[in-house]
Amino acid sequence: MADSLKKLGYAEVEGARIGKLIELEVQEYSEERVKQMCDRLLANPVIEDYRFEAVE
Amino acid sequence: MRAAVLQFPGSNCDQDALFALRNDMGAAAEYVWHDETSLKGFTAVFVPGGFSYGDYLRSGAIAARSPIMEAVKEFAESGQPVIGVCNGFQILCEAGLLPGVLMPNRDQKFICQDVFLRKEISDSRWTRGSQKVLRIPMAHGEGRYTASEEQLEELKAKNLIAFRYTSAAGDDDPEANVNGSTNAIAGIINERGNVLGMMPHPERAANPRFAYGDGLQILQGLTSE
């Protein structure tokens, strides 16, 4: 990916990574419950980190 | 023995497993759907391969949270035998019954070929009395075993690595570790020894009429102590 961008002339690219974006729609936002969802299913702590944010 | 062969949407080695248990081992075996909540009456569990839930999120992740897996956890805690093969191994790891995770193969390709496994422990129900080197087919895209540093240390210290990929003679050989697994790990057991997870398919090599029937030696672990 980074190589391909460089070949297109974007020499400033030093690294690139692809991650997962999961969008959840919830009736009511609870930081604690979303964290639970991440820990119990959405992320595997052996290979993944996560962060989340709430948007209106 | 009365074995439960679990079925998830996307399981595709369930029929092979049932056939091997019934026809090659002469055992009683029944399918158990993922929505079930009880394993009453069963003495062994086979978690088969396939692509449960299309490998969405992570391979095995959704299946690991299905109702039947709560029953499998209780079943395993009671000391009864559970084997997970291929996607079944991925499910057991995701369910927390075994440590670690199965990542996409090193070369990003699906690998379908026979491999040689060296048994690394001889006092386990899964390997007692089996040959030192077994020839078993593999077929997976995500079988590169890895785990955290602490988990790997624990696997080694407690002697929980059941099988490693080796040459046909049973020698360490980086070429034989075709999916790039950490420490060439092909299969592991839990601390109690009643749960085995492995990527290659013993149920596909369990018929003595094949040129090789080495898988049967591993499946015998479902009946022994």
Q: What is the pTM of this model?
A: 0.93
Check CB contact under 8 Å for A41 and B103: no
Give the C-alpha separation, B59 to B171, whole Å. 30
Catalytic, B86? Answer yes
User: Of B116, B105, B129, which is closest to residue B187 (Cα–Cα)?
Assistant: B116
> What average pLDDT does the structure give for chain A?
94
Check CB contact under 8 Å for A44 and B94: yes
User: Of B118, B127, B14, B8, which is closest to residue B65 (Cα–Cα)?
Assistant: B8
The per-residue pLDDT for B129 is 84
CA dihedral for A37, A42, A48, A49, sign (positive or negative)? negative
Give B58 to chain A, closest Cα distance, Å. Answer: 9
The per-residue pLDDT for B225 is 64
Average pLDDT of the residues in B126-143: 95
pLDDT digits (tens, 9 = 90+) for B65-90: 999 999 999 999 999 999 999 999 99
Beta strand residue intervals within B12-78, DSSP E: 28-33, 44-47
pLDDT band (50, 70, 90) for residue B1: very high
Check CB contact under 8 Å for B151 and A40: no
pLDDT digits (tens, 9 = 90+) for B155-213: 999 999 999 999 999 999 999 999 999 999 999 999 999 999 999 999 999 988 876 78
Tokens of residue B68, six digits: 């039947």
